[in-house]
């Protein structure tokens, strides 16, 4: 987050449409970045607590698609679709995420991976098309807590790979 000269948070033009979640992960940046690049890694940690993922298509490249189903702990299935719009290894990934390729309201996520000593600071900035879509994601789908849980699962996964 940027700040103004007085130390108060500066507003970005998209602030009311954003969710920003960050976490310091006790693993090298290259390993944290790699956890996003291969389906064998993603399937081990992607999604909030209690969710599992079944991948139908996965191609990690700009313009490539990850088509998958998230299975909720209550048995609900959520069709998901991601296409990568930017990949700058190991610093940044940008993507569009929706229910399918023809979803009229996909959201954009930008993930940045910054060294933090021997650890990695991961920031996930998600921008929705409208404030109302952002509010719905927060209130109806628990997007903030779900994002925190997902990054917690990622942290546990990559930390176990460092230790193991």
Q: pLDDT tens digits for the chain (164 residues)?
A: 443 445 555 567 889 999 999 999 999 999 999 999 999 999 999 999 999 999 999 999 999 999 999 999 999 999 999 999 999 999 999 999 999 999 999 999 999 999 999 999 999 999 999 999 999 999 999 999 999 999 999 999 998 887 75
The domain containing residue 86 runs over which residues? Answer: 16-163
Distance between CA atoms of residues 70 and 77, nearest Å: 6
Distance between CA atoms of residues 142 and 73, nearest Å: 14
What is the model's pLDDT at position 5?
46
Residue 120 domain flag? yes
Mark residue 94 as left, alpha or beta (left: phi above 0; alpha: psi -120 to 50; beta: remaining): beta
Residue 9 domain flag? no
Residue 2 domain flag? no
Residue 52 domain flag? yes
Residue 37 domain flag? yes
Residue 1 domain flag? no
Overall domain count for the chain: 1
Q: Nearest-CA neighbor of 158 among 61, 47, 33, 54?
A: 33
Residue 11 domain flag? no
Which CATH number belongs to the domain containing residue 152 in this structure? 3.30.530.20
* Contact predicate 155/26, CB 8 Å: yes
Distance between CA atoms of residues 94 and 164, nearest Å: 30
| pTM of the model as a whole | 0.88
* Contact predicate 82/97, CB 8 Å: yes
What is the model's pLDDT at position 13?
83
What is the model's pLDDT at position 161?
83
Residue 149 domain flag? yes
Beta bridge partners of 53: 70
């Amino acid at each position: 987050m940027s700040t103004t000269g007085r130390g108060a948070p500066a507003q970005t033009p998209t602030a009311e449409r954003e969710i920003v979640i960050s976490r310091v992960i006790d693993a090298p940046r290259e390993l944290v970045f790699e956890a996003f690049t291969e389906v064998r890694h993603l399937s081990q940690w992607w999604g909030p607590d209690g969710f599992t993922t079944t991948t139908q298509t996965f191609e990690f490249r700009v313009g490539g698609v990850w088509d998958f189903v998230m299975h909720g702990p209550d048995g609900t299935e959520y069709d998901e679709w991601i296409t990568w719009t930017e990949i700058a290894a190991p610093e940044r990934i940008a993507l569009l995420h929706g229910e399918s390729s023809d979803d009229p309201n996909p959201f954009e996520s930008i993930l940045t991976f910054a060294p933090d000593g021997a650890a990695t600071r991961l920031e996930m900035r998600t921008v929705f098309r409208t404030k109302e879509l952002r509010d719905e994601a927060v209130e109806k789908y628990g997007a903030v807590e779900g994002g925190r849980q997902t990054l917690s699962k990622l942290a546990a996964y990559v930390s176990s790979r460092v230790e193991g």
